Structure 1
Amino acid sequence: MPLPEFSGALGIKRAAHLLRRATFGATKQQIDVFAALTPAQAITSLFRQSLPDPALPIDPKTGQVWVLTPVTDANSMDLDSFLRKWIIGQMISAGVPSGISLAYSAREKMVHFLHTHFTTIMSKVSNSRSIYYQNQLFRTFALDALNSNPAINFKNLTVKISVDNAMLRVLDGNLNVKGSENENYARELLELYSIGRGLEGTLPPTTEQGDYGVYKEDDVKAAARVLSGWDVDEDFANLDPDTNLPRGKVKGSPTNASSHDNTTKQFSVHFGNATVQPNPALLNGGNPTEASALDEISQWIDLIYSSPQTAKNICWKIYRFFVYAPHTPEESIVIDGAIIAEMANTFAAGGFKLQPVIENLLRSQHFYEATAGTVTDDNFGGIIKSPIDLIIPTLRFFDITVPGITVSTTDFYAATGEIETQVTTQAMKFYEPSDIAGYESYFQFPIYHRWWITPNTLANRYNFIRTLITTMEQGMFKVNVYDFVKNNIPDAIAADARLLTMELAKYLLPVTDNLTFDDAADDTSGLTAKRLNYFKERFLQTFDEAYWTTRWNANEPDLRDQLEYLFNSMLQSPEYQLA
């Protein structure tokens, strides 16, 4: 059954929490609007709107779209770079009307989740058009509940990604032919993309060599034979009927898939000793066809999803991305029984549609309250922000916008290129994870998101904030914090150093219950009195609180300088690194 849902208005803390996790950030005004909504209303606003497709990427050298037509010598050399910047532009909702920018951002957060799951290494694919179409494939499946086509679901996405041009290249599916099977994709399909290898840190050792508890080495070999005979379609002419997007093609011809293994494939006891075999009605005089080869993949994916472990593994990926990554077996076991099992039931009962599972999770009591008996660590602030989730939401909070690509292609790529540079300095090689398992922070037990923080990356995170906030620092993106406070905070609060510090903390920091500057009254349930006093002292410097009030009311000319101390201290704090 679905997870029990939270009722009542969200309030500022929960609204900010939801928008940090479900989108790439929100302005103060957007948080205030969502604070008055119930979770059900908020999720409807984020996930149930009709949204436009992104404006197509443009090659600045030619001024033309390149992803729909063959690339020629007239095009720029490094189109991969422009495509990465284009993807970042979608994350920051560049050129998107304000009325739908949050919903657009929520969809792009789902697209990013799918990218972190079905990982791509752009340099190995070495074809920006393939990456673009894969990105569009993820966008097609991201809001699958809005699509009446039952084929648009996560299970069927697993079929589609198996013959996706980028995936065929990155995991050597194009080298997998009968008699000389390449097992790379078959192995990762099982281990990373579907059934997994059980709950990390909790599994007893297996007694049989080649038995991974939920599948065997023999299943990898049989799966490689199922997946044999496909090739990259360099012309992007072979269109999938459900998505109308290009996919790979069989070697040989559609009526004679000559490199596909056409024999029966036997799977292990973990899959009920089932077989996958060609459908005679789809063969051509006994020879495999594109239709029969694709049908075998569908049969195999059906087998994988018939195991309850597959739904649980996918739901764990969802949970770690949107909620929390437990770092001990004990925590994992509790969450697995209380939360993941229910998510998996919803997932399977809903025909493996992704969106309803995520929506229920984001409406749940657990998401907002870390329901008693599930985890000891509150879900608020339970995830260290990725570089993307630090940089883009910070810019969005201060309402820094990027022009649409059709409004100013030069400015669009300059801004998104600066974001990519900042992401790279913080140790996220965007679309270039170190291996096919993806970015370690999303999958590597027991560290997970803690991978993002090292002495170097933390310094670069702080440098990003300092450059953004401080007048004397040079940078493309700049925030006038005086204007921000004047335009967003009532004068009665802005003139009071304590009230101003607490007001900003409510929006900027994840744990903000029962705020007080009094150590004796502090219940340490969230941001402590000691931390609040630190922010206040950094803000006031050598001034006292009354003097700040006098100076604010007199509109002194150097108020921006003093406010920069406050914003730098809060945004360079450890607390701000948490989502």
Structure 2
Amino acid sequence: MDRRQFLTLSPESRQTVKATTTGARTDSGTNAYTGAFDTAQVVHLLKRTMFGATPADIAWAKGLGMDAAVEALITTTSTIATSPLNTYGDDVTGIAPGATWVNSTPPPVATDDLDLDKMRRPTYQAWWVSIMLSQGRSIQEKMMLFWANHFSIETDKVLDARLVYRYNNMLRANALGNFKTLVKEVTLAPAMLIYLNGNLNGKEAADENYGRELQELFTVGKGPDSHYTEDDVRAAARVLTGFRVDPVTMTSYFETTQHDITNKEFSDFYLNKKVSGKTGPDGATELDDLLAIIFSSNEVAKHIVRKIYRFFVYYLIDDAVEANVITPLAAIFVANNYDITPVLRALFKSEHFYDPLNMACLIKSPVDFTIGMCREFGVQFPSAYMDAYTAWDTMRDTMKNMLQDIGQPPLVAGWDAYYQEPQYHELWINTDTLPKRNMLSDMLISNGGFANLKIDVLTFADKLSDPSNPVTLVNDSLDLMYRIEVSDATRAFLKNTLLLSGQNPDSDYYWTDAWNTYKANPGDAASRQIVESRLQSLYKYLMDLSEYQLA
């Protein structure tokens, strides 16, 4: 089906679009890509690994070339210097307005800590928006979102924003590291222990929640060759008995008296391996034994690689992709002891990633759409912290209304569009969310702006290669904003109708003169209005078309 056609279908019609896993959509694989690394390939790489791509980002990647650009994107990490602040006023733990609450003490027993958490939660989410907006040239924040969806928690179920904030930082710190280490960190994270009842898991009545999700969602998955059993879930739950959360230190600890010290036997899927029961503090090391058993299955590598593929490349995994991409990438994963970076390196340098059929084939998630648009157009956010948090939270609420509320996925499985067959990413678009996307871009591009935020079209255009030339301006804008080639007729319409205001098609000098007049005297309101209004019309038109929804 034509991608643009899909974006204009009614929800009823879309239900007939079925994913299939037979045949071959493309026969490309993980061999090194040796083709051109021009604007189309650069923008493809950047928009899949970051939220949006600015003209400066594109020039940077072109200057490096593919190999160096990929290396920089997957190896560059940063430590976040900020943390959520008190924007809500009175705080029973004594945190002053404008100060961070992340290391505060628990609320006094006599107070309602749920009310405090309700006030802190939006500031955490707004802070996370700010981190994505200010990301560097790195895949780190995209991987952070990937893992936050994979190892999903719901902040309103954890009910302690301090622990949720620490969970966020833990995922980011491990986002490009070792997956085995990450699984163990997640297992012991206080936020996850609370979310999936691990802190209630004891020898008298083992709670199976985390033991189930550890296997079904987080590691071996539900692929065609994944045959763990209900007995394996129960055995894992017994291994995990005894872990508890200290709300004062905001850490987890092991309560020996609550641990099941008996042996735990696993099915033939795990080669009938056994975790020997241990007593005292040694009982905590049974977790390492459990993870060793789980990671002995190559299904772990396949499951994670499939999720990475669907997040960064395309939702459909057919026979050819399974054989030519998933299997070799999973082998790389295992050979590198489950380090994440070698898998990303092989994927983003592969012929498959740059296959034309894998370009412009993903619908932007609400986060990709919103954060990417703000970054690409250089939307300026307030510097005063109260105003900044208001603006960040407004963007968070806007993404929520488009079906992606960061920190609040609907289920432990994450957001539907990342896993729900057969539509996957097509679920982001419906008769409610598409108008909301268009409304956001329309308002940001207008003179009035949106929530005191505005796209400065003059500043944006000035960053392109030759904004005085209407042909070049249109081409540069399309190269950056669109992932699908448009017809010559469309390009002519954009130039002649929107930039030249219906002037003679050969009158390119009309725009050139207008731009140069404005640049010579940017303080002149009349000359500024002429070029600004036409640029607003151009970019509004481009963002309202279906093609803008594709990454």
What's the TM-score once normalised by structure 1's chain length?
0.81
Q: Which residue of 1 aligns with 2:521?
A: none
- In structure 1, how many angstroms separate the alpha carbons of the residues matched to 2:452 and 2:106? 31
- In structure 2, how many angstroms separate the alpha carbons of the residues matched to 1:126 and 1:382? 38
Q: Which residue of 1 aligns with 2:126?
A: 85
Matches within 5 A, 1:90-239: 90-93=131-134, 101-103=136-138, 106-144=139-177, 153-199=178-224, 213-236=226-249
Give SS of 1:249's match: strand
1:307 is aligned, of 281, 293, 297, to 297
The answer to whether residue 261 in structure 2 is matched with residue 250 in structure 1 is no
Q: Which residue of 2 aligns with 1:292?
A: 283
Give SS of 2:280's match: coil
Q: 2:449 touches 2:455 (CA, 8 Å); kept in 1?
A: no
Q: Which amino acid aligns with 2:466?
A: P
Structure 2 CA distance for partners of 1:570 and 1:302, relative to 1, 3 Å: same
Q: CA deviation at 1:423?
A: 0.7
Q: Which residue of 2 aligns with 1:506?
A: 479
Q: CA deviation at 1:76?
A: 8.0
User: In the comparison of the two structures, how many residue pairs are matched?
Assistant: 496
Q: Which residue of 1 aligns with 2:10?
A: none
Give SS of 1:368's match: coil
Q: Which residue of 2 aligns with 1:463?
A: 439
- In structure 2, how many angstroms separate the alpha carbons of the residues matched to 1:456 and 1:39? 39
Residues 319-376 of structure 1 deviation map (CA, whole Å, 9 limit, x = unaligned):
11111110xxxx5222111101111111111111112211221122211125xxxxxx
Q: CA deviation at 1:67?
A: 0.9
Q: Which residue of 2 aligns with 1:560?
A: 532
Q: CA deviation at 1:58?
A: 2.1
Matches within 5 A, 1:328-339: 331-339=317-325
Q: CA deviation at 1:27?
A: 1.4
Structure 2 CA distance for partners of 1:488 and 1:71, relative to 1, 3 Å: farther
- In structure 2, how many angstroms separate the alpha carbons of the residues matched to 1:70 and 1:126? 14
- In structure 1, how many angstroms separate the alpha carbons of the residues matched to 2:456 and 2:287? 55
Structure 2 CA distance for partners of 1:53 and 1:481, relative to 1, 3 Å: closer
- In structure 1, how many angstroms separate the alpha carbons of the residues matched to 2:120 and 2:159? 10
Q: 1:47 touches 1:107 (CA, 8 Å); kept in 2?
A: yes
- In structure 2, how many angstroms separate the alpha carbons of the residues matched to 1:408 and 1:44? 36
The answer to whether residue 100 in structure 2 is matched with residue 65 in structure 1 is yes
Instruction: Please say which of residues 387-396 and 423-432 is displaced more in the overlay.
Output: 423-432
Q: CA deviation at 1:474?
A: 4.8
Residues 515-553 of structure 1 deviation map (CA, whole Å, 9 limit, x = unaligned):
xxxxxxxxxxxx344554564576256444334632441
- In structure 1, how many angstroms separate the alpha carbons of the residues matched to 2:274 and 2:155? 35
Q: Which residue of 2 aligns with 1:431?
A: 407
Matches within 5 A, 1:516-531: 527-529=486-488, 531=490
- In structure 2, how many angstroms separate the alpha carbons of the residues matched to 1:539 and 1:71? 58
Q: Which amino acid aligns with 1:368?
A: Y
- In structure 2, how many angstroms separate the alpha carbons of the residues matched to 1:426 and 1:544? 41
Matches within 5 A, 1:456-495: 456-472=432-448, 474-494=450-470
Q: 1:425 touches 1:457 (CA, 8 Å); kept in 2?
A: yes
- In structure 1, how many angstroms separate the alpha carbons of the residues matched to 2:213 and 2:496? 52
Give SS of 1:59's match: coil
Q: What is the aligned-residue RMSD (CA, Å)?
A: 2.3
Q: Which amino acid aligns with 2:374?
A: L
Instruction: Please say which of residues 534-543 and 482-491 is displaced more in the overlay.
Output: 534-543
Q: Which amino acid aligns with 1:356?
A: P
Give SS of 1:231's match: strand
Q: Which residue of 2 aligns with 1:33?
A: 60
Q: Which residue of 2 aligns with 1:392?
A: 371
- In structure 1, how many angstroms separate the alpha carbons of the residues matched to 2:104 and 2:235? 37
Q: CA deviation at 1:259?
A: 1.1
What's the TM-score once normalised by structure 2's chain length?
0.85
Q: Which amino acid aligns with 2:413?
A: A
Higher relative contact order (CA 8 A, sep 6+): 2
Instruction: Please say which of residues 559-568 and 120-129 is displaced more in the overlay.
Output: 559-568
The answer to whether residue 16 in structure 2 is matched with residue 16 in structure 1 is no
Gaps of 5+ in 1: 95-100, 145-152, 204-212, 238-245, 252-256, 280-286, 371-377, 513-526
Q: 2:197 touches 2:209 (CA, 8 Å); kept in 1?
A: yes
